[in-house]
Structure 1
Amino acid sequence: MHDTASGLAQRGKQLPLEERERLVDELLASLNEPSAAELDAAWSAEIQRRLAAYDRGEVHALPAEEVVAKARAIAR
């Protein structure tokens, strides 16, 4: 990308007010997004938590065919 922050800011200032507000909102939201490593760690922890619950017998698995059939019935 060849645009600098300064150049983008100058171009952004030319946008209508509502578009500038939207741009600012999107940029601010992007600062709070977790990194890929953080997402990977969170999913890994969730997988381990679910697997441990399954191993302890706290949750039970369903056959994939049953899950798909229920999802299709709900979608109708």
Structure 2
Amino acid sequence: METFSDSKRIVARSSEHFQKLLNVPGDIDHEALDNIPQRITKTSLDEIPTTAEMARAIAGLKDGKAHGT
């Protein structure tokens, strides 16, 4: 296995690797896809939060950190 130190070669090799890894033709059973139950889209999640909701969310953060950190 060859080791690369030049950033352009690293990017090119990574691109080549992921092209081979991710662009593989697959056998898809379209009948199985048609049998997957569909779910209703929740459009209520599309609404922009109010200023009050944003203020409550920001106030709930600990020392400006994301939740759980």
Task: Please tell me the TM-score bracket, short chain as reference.
Answer: 0.3 to 0.5
TM-score (norm 2): 0.41
Decide which structure has greater helix share. Answer: 1
TM-score (norm 1): 0.38
